[in-house]
């Protein structure tokens, strides 16, 4: 959505779903609203519970991208959405997406996790959150999975209070969850319907008399008595209870347990309470005054379930909001200047200027991204620091500056053309497809072998000199980097160009040590073979 000079209007689409360890469905178009999208959604917030966290599956998700994140990125990236941040705690997963051109205005991104299972030692229950400043206003998204069963209503409230107390963020603007201008609380909150027996509940569902159940809903009842819920709002429950279904059907539980249907999956929001001007507020108590003196307004446009998804015993729930607030931020921290068209390597220069309030950090870097990139780690290459103009050469790309927890700047895609002549600075990019799996399939082996044969052929046909470059950039997973380290060694040995640099995206310390040792061993072997 466009941003005016006086107010910012931000569309937020929130989804919560207990997926019951299921794999993602083939089509999530309707859940994401992509089939009826009007272009007004600026951010997608996806909270999942009970994502498969078996040991073998969890280890695979650590090494690669988990299936749910991958599917969401695949569906949203073609529409210009980028994964801003994600947080996983066993079965709990929180994903935050935003439109590409909003990234410079999302700042101070932080995440937190709180375990409440087994007395706080196990993460099957608890909460994961992501907070950030959106156009200068603080927002926190909290995805929770609270204790199950009818009799545990008080335990659910105790766990929620524990999550709020334990989750503290760095910085003075908003240290706790409730200190943010706007809080969205959602997840499998597990609140049930009191007093009414199964037949009464099912009859009310069949006759669309949901108000009978509203009055007995544990969460609605708790709002009148629990101080911690003060200020939280929720839209009307005009859809059938979302729990519990026989998997693969729209039929409520027919097993021996015969769980009573309930609205366990909920989405609520809260505006930060502020005291009237001049009023003294007890530091130990939160003010009961609702609303914001800064004029923030939250409008809910829809609140619904999605009955067509049958892979879990829960139905997903979504809600679409518009956030309106006075516009505080209209200038990016870093302004990047890139030519619209590059006809030579000399044109491929990204220049930048810093805002007066921008504080440089040794963690700052300028990244090069393919058009349609999925997340901030999906870069083709990067240059550490913001010191000098950066010369780059690659296929059609986006350019962005990345600072700690902030995308400080972003520019539109640059149309690149083949250079007419060689310049003094060039870059050879060798990288596998994004998120390529670590496999030894015949196709992967053939591709790697072909790359090595190509380099050797250049040497034998005396055309190597025309193919020399000043830096060899490798991106991808560790195994691919090991293979390309070998290619780089061949490159250096046969070209006799010791100045050629090898650049690689950062991995963990252990991964870097492993790759460096492999590179050293391969280099020694090649030197022995070429003496």
Q: DSSP letters of 324-374?
A: EEE----S-SEEEE--SEESSGGG-EEEEEE-TTPPP-TT-EEEEEETT--
457 CB neighbour count, 10 Å cutoff = 11
- Tell me the pLDDT tens digit for each residue of 506-520: 444 555 556 556 666
User: Based on the domain organization, do 310 and 197 belong to the same domain?
Assistant: yes
492 — pLDDT class (breaks 50, 70, 90): low
Residue 365 has pLDDT above 60, yes or no: yes
Query: In what side-by-side order are the strands of the sheet with 406-416?
Result: 341-342, 406-416, 397-403, 365-370, 379-384
Confidence at residue 384, expressed as pLDDT on a 0 to 100 scale: 66
User: Based on the domain organization, do 164 and 19 belong to the same domain?
Assistant: yes
User: Based on the domain organization, do 357 and 384 belong to the same domain?
Assistant: yes
User: Based on the domain organization, do 118 and 246 belong to the same domain?
Assistant: yes
Residue 114 has pLDDT above 60, yes or no: yes
Structural domain for 383, as ranges: 332-405+498-506
% the chain with pLDDT above 70: 62
Q: Which of 140-149, 392-401, 427-436, 443-452: highest mean pLDDT?
A: 140-149
Cβ atoms of 375 and 82 closer than 8 Å: yes
Q: How far apart are CA 386 and CA 511, in angstroms?
A: 26
Greater pLDDT, 36 or 216 = 216
User: Based on the domain organization, do 208 and 312 belong to the same domain?
Assistant: yes
User: Based on the domain organization, do 86 and 216 belong to the same domain?
Assistant: yes
Average pLDDT, integer, range 423-441: 35
User: Based on the domain organization, do 325 and 336 belong to the same domain?
Assistant: no
Paired sense of beta strands 501-503 and 232-233, if any: unpaired
Greater pLDDT, 424 or 273 = 273
Confidence at residue 244, expressed as pLDDT on a 0 to 100 scale: 97
% the chain with pLDDT above 90: 45
The Cα angle at residue 483 between residues 365 and 517, in degrees rounded to 5:
75
Residue 269's SS3 state is strand
Greater pLDDT, 210 or 528 = 210
Average pLDDT, integer, range 454-461: 42
Environment class of 227 (CB within 10 Å of its CB; exposed 0-12, middle 13-18, buried 19+): exposed
Confidence at residue 285, expressed as pLDDT on a 0 to 100 scale: 36
User: Based on the domain organization, do 308 and 401 belong to the same domain?
Assistant: no
Average pLDDT, integer, range 132-142: 93
Confidence at residue 335, expressed as pLDDT on a 0 to 100 scale: 79
Min mean pLDDT across 59-73, 143-157, 380-394 is at 380-394
> Is 346 contained in some domain?
yes
User: Based on the domain organization, do 12 and 36 belong to the same domain?
Assistant: yes
Residue 511's SS3 state is helix
Confidence at residue 477, expressed as pLDDT on a 0 to 100 scale: 44
Number of domains in the chain: 2
> Is 254 contained in some domain?
yes
- Tell me the pLDDT tens digit for each residue of 460-478: 443 333 333 433 444 344 4
Strand intervals (E) in 19-105: 43-49, 81-89, 92-99
User: Based on the domain organization, do 318 and 361 belong to the same domain?
Assistant: no
> Is 522 contained in some domain?
no
Residue 4 has pLDDT above 70, yes or no: no
Confidence at residue 501, expressed as pLDDT on a 0 to 100 scale: 45
Confidence at residue 173, expressed as pLDDT on a 0 to 100 scale: 65
200 CB neighbour count, 10 Å cutoff = 16
Strand intervals (E) in 104-153: 106-117, 122-134, 137-145
Q: Which of 64-78, 184-198, 456-470: highest mean pLDDT?
A: 184-198
> Is 370 contained in some domain?
yes
Query: In what side-by-side order are the strands of the sheet with 334-337?
Result: 334-337, 349-354, 390-391
Which of 302, 329, 356 is the endpoint of a domain? 329
378 — pLDDT class (breaks 50, 70, 90): confident
Task: Tell me the CATH number at 81.
Answer: 3.60.10.10
Q: Which two tokens stand for residue 124?
A: 């099957």
> Is 153 contained in some domain?
yes
Query: Which of 36, 31, 38, 109 lies closest to 75 in space, CA to CA?
Result: 31
- What is the overall mean pLDDT for the chain? 75
> Is 187 contained in some domain?
yes
Residue 53 has pLDDT above 80, yes or no: no
Paired sense of beta strands 137-145 and 182-188, if any: parallel
Q: How many alpha carbons lie under 13 Å from residue 203 in its C-beta half-sphere?
A: 6
User: Based on the domain organization, do 246 and 100 belong to the same domain?
Assistant: yes
Q: Which of 345-349, 404-408, 471-475, 479-483: highest mean pLDDT?
A: 345-349
64 — pLDDT class (breaks 50, 70, 90): low
Residue 204 has pLDDT above 50, yes or no: yes
Q: Which two tokens stand for residue 269?
A: 């929001």
Q: How far apart are CA 338 and CA 401, in angstroms?
A: 12
- Tell me the pLDDT tens digit for each residue of 139-187: 999 999 999 999 999 999 999 999 999 999 987 667 899 999 999 999 9
User: Based on the domain organization, do 227 and 299 belong to the same domain?
Assistant: yes
> Is 224 contained in some domain?
yes
- Tell me the pLDDT tens digit for each residue of 292-324: 445 789 999 999 999 999 999 999 999 999 999
488 — pLDDT class (breaks 50, 70, 90): low
Confidence at residue 438, expressed as pLDDT on a 0 to 100 scale: 33
Greater pLDDT, 371 or 251 = 251
Average pLDDT, integer, range 47-55: 88
Confidence at residue 339, expressed as pLDDT on a 0 to 100 scale: 72
> Is 124 contained in some domain?
yes
Average pLDDT, integer, range 491-505: 48
Paired sense of beta strands 106-117 and 92-99, if any: unpaired
Environment class of 107 (CB within 10 Å of its CB; exposed 0-12, middle 13-18, buried 19+): buried
Min mean pLDDT across 42-51, 87-96, 355-364 is at 355-364
Min mean pLDDT across 137-141, 227-231, 342-346 is at 342-346
* 283 contacts: CB under 8 Å, gap ≥ 6: none
Q: How far apart are CA 412 and CA 410, in angstroms?
A: 7
Confidence at residue 320, expressed as pLDDT on a 0 to 100 scale: 97
DSSP 217: B
Q: Which two tokens stand for residue 205?
A: 């569902």
Q: For 399-408, b where at least 16 C-beta lie within 10 A, e where not — what string?
A: bbbbbebbbb
């Amino acid at each position: 959505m466009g941003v005016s000079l006086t107010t910012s209007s931000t569309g937020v689409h929130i989804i919560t779903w207990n997926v019951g360890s299921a794999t993602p469905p083939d089509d999530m178009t309707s859940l994401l609203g992509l089939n009826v999208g009007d272009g007004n959604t600026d951010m997608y917030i996806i909270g999942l519970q009970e994502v498969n966290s078996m040991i073998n599956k969890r280890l695979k998700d650590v090494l690669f991208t988990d299936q749910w994140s991958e599917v969401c990125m695949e569906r949203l990236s073609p529409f210009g959405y980028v994964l801003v941040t994600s947080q996983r705690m066993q079965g709990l997963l929180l994903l935050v997406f935003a439109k590409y051109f909003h990234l410079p205005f999302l700042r101070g991104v932080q995440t937190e996790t709180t375990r409440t299972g087994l007395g706080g030692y196990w993460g099957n229950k608890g909460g994961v959150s992501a907070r950030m400043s959106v156009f200068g206003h603080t927002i926190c998204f909290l995805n929770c999975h609270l204790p199950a069963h009818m009799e545990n209503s008080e335990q659910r409230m105790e766990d929620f209070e524990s999550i709020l107390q334990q989750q503290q963020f760095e910085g003075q603007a908003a240290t706790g969850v409730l200190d943010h201008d706007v809080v969205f609380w959602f997840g499998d909150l597990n609140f049930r319907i009191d007093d009414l027996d199964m037949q009464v509940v099912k009859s009310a569902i069949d006759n669309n008399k949901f108000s009978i159940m509203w009055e007995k809903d544990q969460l609605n009842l708790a709002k009148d008595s629990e101080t911690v819920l003060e200020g939280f709002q929720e839209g009307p429950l005009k859809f059938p209870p979302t729990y519990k279904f026989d998997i693969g059907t729209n039929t409520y539980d027919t097993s021996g347990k015969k769980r009573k249907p309930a609205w366990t999956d909920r989405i609520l929001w809260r505006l930060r309470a502020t005291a009237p001007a001049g009023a003294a507020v007890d530091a130990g108590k939160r003010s009961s005054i609702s609303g914001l003196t800064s004029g923030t307004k939250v409008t809910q446009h829809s609140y619904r379930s999605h009955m067509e998804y049958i892979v879990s015993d829960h139905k997903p729930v979504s809600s679409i909001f518009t956030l309106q607030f006075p516009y505080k931020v209209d200038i990016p921290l870093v302004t990047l200047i890139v030519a619209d068209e590059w006809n030579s390597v000399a044109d491929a220069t990204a220049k930048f200027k810093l805002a007066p309030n921008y504080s440089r950090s040794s963690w700052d870097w300028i990244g090069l991204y393919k058009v349609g990139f999925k997340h901030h780690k999906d870069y083709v290459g990067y240059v550490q620091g913001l010191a000098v103009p950066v010369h780059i050469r690659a296929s059609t790309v986006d350019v962005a500056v990345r600072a700690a927890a902030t995308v400080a700047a972003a520019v539109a895609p640059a149309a690149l053309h083949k250079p007419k002549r060689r310049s003094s600075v060039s870059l050879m990019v060798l990288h596998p497809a994004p998120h390529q799996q670590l496999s030894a399939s015949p196709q992967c082996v053939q591709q790697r072998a072909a790359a090595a044969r190509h380099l050797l052929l250049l040497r034998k046909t005396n055309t190597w000199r025309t193919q020399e470059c000043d830096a060899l950039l490798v991106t991808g997973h560790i195994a691919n980097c090991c293979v390309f380290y070998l290619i780089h060694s061949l490159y250096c040995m046969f070209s006799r160009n010791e100045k050629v640099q090898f650049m690689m995206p950062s991995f963990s310390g252990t991964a870097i040590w492993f790759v460096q040792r492999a590179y050293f061993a391969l280099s020694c072997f090649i030197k022995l073979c070429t003496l």
